Structure 1
Amino acid sequence: MASMHCIINPAGRDGSTGKRWPKILKRLVEDGWDVETHLTERVGHATEIAYELRNRFENEDQKPLIVAVGGDGTAHEVASGLRGSSLVLGLIPTGSGNDLAMAHGLHRKKMDLTFQTLLNGVDRSVGALRLEGKAAPDAPGYPAIKIRDCDGPVEVEGNVVRWVFLESDCGVTSLTSRAKLTRGKWIRGSMKYTYLGLTEVLKWKKRQAWIKIDNEEPKRGVLSMVAFTMCETFGGGYKVSPKASPQAKHGHLTVALNLSKLQMIRLMGPLRKGKHVNMWDISHGPAKRLEIRAVDGDGNPTGLPHSPPLFVQSDGEPCIQTPAILQFMPDQLLVRGALKVDWA
């Protein structure tokens, strides 16, 4: 009998994940899985559980499938604990966004496909982005992040590191996710991001930034949105990086500078459909390294955070602020996906 450890966020999708779990567990057992259940109790708990499982099974001949049951936040935490190991991540998408699961051919409303994939899917090695910067300040119910063994050492004292398996963004989109921590709890799915995005655009305060992409000449301007991604969509289906492949030997970078509030609002529709590239000089292309800094009065990059803060996300978690560096790293995670995906 095949072994599976399921890490469940019972609070996912406003508590519906916990309510659905008994039915999901019944199906897994019917499919022949020997299931061990781990319920998370707080932010970051899924990473702790996954890292313990990694240390327990990494050197064993028979390794269990480690399954994240929840949304993109749960998937991110479990992936963070497994990163760099030979253990395989499985996904049961029951959250609000589920973009990582969608990238690997799964869907919250097609659970039969999910169960079939867990049994007979394809294990693929994918890259990730290493994000290092200053920890964002505490928010209600969301404490500032700390250094963890599973993320590896920092390069600059006082920084923290997180890993990105779906997307990292900075600008009005990261402020939208920061708002999600305290507002819009009554809205589900992509409508939540649309509503919060509109409210954040309306109160947007311009932040001048210095950004450096790979070995290119640095750019300066008002940082409206930068998205460095491993997959095509985030935010519940927004096609920010059209045709992005998690198995590419680079990340996928979208840069939008100097947009007005009206342009940012008008961008939301095209962004959802992947039609935003080249609008208002918005660029999109491959990249391996991105650095974001605040600038002084003369336009020179500084080592100080933006004021007001400019947050940088790690898979939807606005946990780091500028200055920050993102670096692509290949073959960081094994993910079990559907037999057929658009990018493979």
Structure 2
Amino acid sequence: MKINGPLAVLANPGAGRGRHRGVLPFVLAHLRDTGLPVEPLEARTPQEALAACHAAVAGGAGALVVVGGDGTVHLALQALAGTDVPLGIVPAGTGNDFAVAAGFGAPAAALRAIGAALARGGDHATIDLARLTTGAGATHWFGGVLAAGFDAIVNERGNRMRWPRGPVRYDLAIMVELARLRARSYRITLDGVTQERDAVLVAVANGGSYGGGMRICPDADVTDGRLDVAVVRPISRRTLVKVKPQIYAGTHVHHPAVDTFSARKVELAAEGIVGYADGERIAPLPVTVECVPGALRLLRGA
């Protein structure tokens, strides 16, 4: 696939809490060295970034390069899913889980891979995305994980808190929600087969990790045309605290309270749960999630 349009570049200057502010000028200089026109996208808010991505794709961008973390990439996916415009990722966020799943390493290595793909005329690979439909009929795309249990409840509380500022508030939110831990009643339908069950955590994954390396579904594969599902049965606060560190290694799936499944389509319903995908607030349950094979082109070799 030949790149026929300009390289649109979306950057989040606050990604990684500002640790990578110096990355963008380096990225722009490297991309301009390819001889292709480079167009930085102007966006001060997530809403402006989303609109800028859609406008770039509609306006004939040859590729979209994102400098940021999972949240910034998530915005780009809404414009790129199902199109011929490839995505390049220069990971520069607090969490870069989807970049890892998509095969982009540290910033310098990712930029080299993007440059090599451009030098080969826009060489690309394709991977799956998850298409989520809300109860109201709205559609959202995500590349990583839909959190729909204790993890989502913590995010919801943390986002409501005005103090303390920064990531510390999520640590406090975890403590508060641990004290309030209780199982919720879920209706989970996997490829048309429904089960009613109580659980404290449910996650639906296209890519296997979230939260900066927590491998909630360690066997998830972004090229297999399927979604992985992790369900944690009712457990005590002490057990949850004990199991949580195992998620980074993916060994939690061997705990007797953890069930795993695989499906092409997942329907999920529960009262009082707001789903978060790629770390972004999406919508209250119920939701339907479908794996769409090959929905995203990547600006890197196969």
TM-based fold match above 0.5: yes
Q: Deviations over 1:195-243 (max 9, x none)?
A: 754543233344222222223341321x311111111211100111213
Measure how far apart 1:326 and its partner are. Answer: 1.5
> Given the alignment, which residue of 104, 118, 121 partners 2:114?
118
| Cα distance, 1:289–1:331 mapped onto 2, change above 3 Å | same
Counterpart secondary structure, 1:239: coil
Structure 2 residue aligned with 1:160: 138
| Change over 3 Å in CA distance of 1:196–1:337 after alignment to 2 | farther
Greater alpha carbon shift after TM alignment, 285-294 vs 79-88: 285-294
SS in 2 for 1:91: strand
The one of 178, 186, 189 equivalent to 2:166 is: 186
* Inter-CA distance 259–293: structure 2 relative to 1 (3 Å threshold): same
- 1:256 and 2:239 aligned: no
User: Contact (CA 8 Å) 2:126, 2:294: kept in 1 or not?
Assistant: yes
Structure-2 residue corresponding to 1:45: 48
1:224 aligns with 2:200: yes
Three-state SS of the structure 2 residue aligned to 1:240 is coil
Q: Which digits, 9 at most, give the CA deviation of each residue in 1:128-164, with x for residues without a partner? A: 2221225xxxxxxxxxxxxxxxxxxxxxxx3422112
Partner in structure 2 of residue 15 of structure 1: 18
Partner of 1:299: none
Q: Separation in 2 of the partners of 1:336 and 1:197? A: 37
Q: 2: CA distance between counterparts of 1:271 and 1:193?
A: 18
Q: Shift of residue 19 of structure 1?
A: 5.1
Q: Contact 1:89/1:335 (CA < 8 Å) preserved in 2?
A: yes
Q: 1:31 to 1:182 in 2, by over 3 A?
A: farther
Q: Percent identity?
A: 21
Q: Alignment partner of 2:285: what SS?
A: strand
The AA in structure 1 aligned to 2:95 is G
Gaps of 5+ in 2: 118-122
The answer (yes or no) to whether the contact 2:219–2:228 under 8 Å persists in 1 is: no
The total of aligned residue pairs comes to 292
3-state SS in 2 of match to 1:259: coil
Q: Which residue of 1 aligns with 2:120?
A: none
Q: Is the 8 A contact 2:189 2:266 kept in 1?
A: yes
- Measure the CA separation in 1 of the matches of 2:289 and 2:42: 31
- From 177, 184, 190, the equivalent of 1:207 is 184
- Tell me the equivalent position of 1:128: 129
Which deviates the most, 80-89 or 275-284? 275-284
Q: Is the 8 A contact 2:102 2:127 kept in 1?
A: no
Instruction: Report which stretch shifted further, 232-241 or 12-21.
Output: 12-21
Root-mean-square deviation (Å): 2.6
Aligned: 1:81 with 2:79 = yes
Q: Could you tell me how far 1:337 is from its partner in structure 2? A: 4.0
Structure 1 residues 115, 33: closer, same or farther in 2, change over 3 A? farther
Residue by residue over 1:142-189, the C-alpha shift from the partner in whole angstroms, topping out at 9 and shown as x without a partner, is xxxxxxxxxxxxxxxx342211211112001112332443557534xx
Match of 1:176 among 144, 154, 160: 154
CA distance in 2, matches of 1:195, 1:33: 47
* 1:27 to 1:331, Cα distance in 2 relative to 1, 3 A: closer
| Rounded Cα–Cα distance in structure 2 between residues aligned with 1:83 and 1:321 | 23
Following the alignment from structure 1 to structure 2, what is the Cα–Cα distance between the partners of residues 239 and 82?
A: 25
Structure 1 spans left out of the alignment, 5+ residues: 58-62, 135-157, 295-305, 340-344
Correspondent of 2:103 among 97, 102, 105: 105
List 4+ stretches of structure 1 deviating above 6 A: 191-195
What letter is aligned with 1:214? D
Once residues 10 and 227 of structure 2 are traced to their aligned partners in structure 1, the CA distance between those partners, rounded to angstroms, is 28
Amino acid at match of 1:49: A
In 2 relative to 1, CA 272–27 (structure 1 residues): closer, same or farther, beyond 3 Å?
Answer: same
Aligned-pair distance for 1:85?
0.6
Give the match for residue 31 of structure 2: 28
Could you tell me the TM-score, scaled by structure 2's length?
0.86
